[in-house]
């Protein structure tokens, strides 16, 4: 199968160069996309984040960043260490059954018994109220407040969907308020997008899981009707999905994250509209793996080109 054709990277203006520098891309990489623009200076611009903003953002936790579980190898080592300390022989592990879809993070959880299906509000204001008062899953028990979303709520050019609110989001009631949010705004500005006037931001689930753990499939499925209704009411021109979990649930695929990247998918909304959808890295993961920032920039250019070539 031929690899999907990727759009050519555009020439950059000074504001985009500043945003890419804020993302941490190397000068040698930027030099290929600039003509006569200094990649050392930091031109002033509203989209660029200054030292004061970075200092404030550094105080928050990464928005939507999940706490990774211990690997099977590490768990086995810890079990052996406990057995040795107690003098008891280690238990022979049972043969693991085939990995469930939930364990792979892309399953559809069975419906709760004797529980009627969620009836989602038909309009935007009622939907926001319903989300703020939602008790459909156990995440409501520990939240400060539900995080409905923020940004342009009338046919935005971009809809950005993460995984779950972080601690700072839970306090403020707004998505992407930590360091990951600062980086996300810089990424969007780098491709010529104004985060304040062109984007609506939200998450797969609307309440913060305790300790930023990965949301369970049942929790995601309880919240997914809200997201589907948001997409139908917003009717965005394109959707950018951040991270594997959100991509798998929205696309209904159990494919690997890397196989979902690099192509423009089509998402059919409840109203029957086909919307271009592109998968890229969650900015929280880019904070720990800055080498992937150049790939994320290409993904955002792909999302922009997907609409420009097929308006």
pLDDT interval class at 118 (50, 70, 90): confident
State how far Cα 217 lies from the chain centre.
16
d(CA 285, CA 280): 11
What's the pLDDT at 55?
Answer: 38
pLDDT at position 31: 65
CB–CB of 107/215 below 8 Å? no
Backbone angles phi, psi at 50, to 5 degrees: -90, 175
For 44, counting Cβ atoms within 10 Å of its Cβ (0-12 exposed, 13-18 middle, 19+ buried), the class is: exposed
Output the CA–CA distances (angstroms, integers) from residue 204 to 21, 32, 242, 293, in the order listed: 29, 36, 10, 22
Interval 116-124 mean pLDDT:
89
pLDDT digits (tens, 9 = 90+) for 165-211: 999 999 999 999 999 999 999 999 999 999 999 999 999 999 999 99
Phi and psi at residue 83, to the nearest 5°: -65, -40
- Fold classification of 102-109+118-308 (topology level): Uracil-DNA Glycosylase, subunit E (3.40.470)
Maximum distance among all Cα pairs of the chain, rounded to whole angstroms: 70
Q: To the nearest whole number, what is the mean pLDDT of the chain?
A: 78
Closest CA to 232 of 273, 201, 197, 204: 273
Cα 120 to Cα 134: distance, rounded to the nearest angstrom: 11
Tens digit of each residue's pLDDT (9 = 90 or more) over 279-310: 999 999 999 999 999 999 999 999 999 987 65
pLDDT attached to residue 253 = 93
For the segment 130-146, the average pLDDT, to the nearest whole number, is 95
Report the pLDDT averaged over residues 10-16: 69
Extents of the domains making up the chain: 102-109+118-308
Q: Residue 73 in contact with residue 211, Cβ under 8 Å?
A: no
Q: What is residue 260's predicted lDDT score, i.e. its pLDDT?
A: 97
- Higher per-residue pLDDT: 203 or 116: 203
Least confident of 13-22, 65-74, 116-125, 181-190: 65-74
């Amino acid at each position: 199968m031929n690899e999907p054709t990727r759009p050519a990277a555009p020439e950059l203006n000074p504001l985009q160069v500043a945003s890419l520098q804020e993302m941490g891309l190397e000068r040698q990489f930027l030099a290929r996309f600039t003509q006569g623009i200094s990649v050392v200076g930091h031109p002033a611009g509203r989209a660029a984040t200054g030292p004061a903003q970075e200092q404030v953002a550094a105080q928050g936790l990464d928005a939507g960043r999940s706490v990774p579980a211990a690997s099977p190898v590490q768990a086995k080592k810890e079990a052996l260490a406990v057995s040795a300390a107690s003098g008891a022989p280690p238990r022979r592990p049972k043969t693991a059954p085939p990995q469930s879809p939930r364990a792979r993070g892309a399953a559809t959880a069975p419906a709760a018994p004797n529980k009627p299906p969620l009836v989602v509000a038909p309009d935007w204001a009622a939907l926001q109220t319903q989300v703020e008062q939602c008790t459909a899953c156990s995440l409501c028990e520990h939240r400060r407040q539900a995080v409905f979303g923020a940004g342009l709520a009338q046919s935005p050019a971009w809809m950005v969907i993460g995984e779950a609110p972080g601690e700072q989001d839970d306090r403020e009631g707004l998505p992407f308020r930590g360091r990951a949010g600062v980086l996300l705004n810089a990424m969007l500005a780098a491709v010529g997008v104004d985060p304040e006037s062109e984007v609506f931001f939200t998450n797969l689930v609307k309440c913060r899981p305790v300790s930023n753990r990965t949301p369970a499939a049942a929790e995601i499925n309880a919240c997914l009707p809200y997201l589907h209704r948001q997409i139908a009411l917003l009717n965005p021109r394109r959707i950018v999905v951040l991270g594997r979990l959100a991509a798998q649930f929205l696309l209904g695929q159990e494919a690997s994250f890397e196989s979902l990247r690099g192509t423009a998918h089509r998402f059919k909304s409840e109203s029957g509209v086909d919307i271009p959808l592109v998968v890229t890295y969650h900015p929280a993961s880019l904070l720990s793996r800055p080498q992937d920032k150049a790939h994320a920039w290409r993904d955002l250019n792909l999302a922009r080109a997907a609409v420009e070539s097929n308006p």
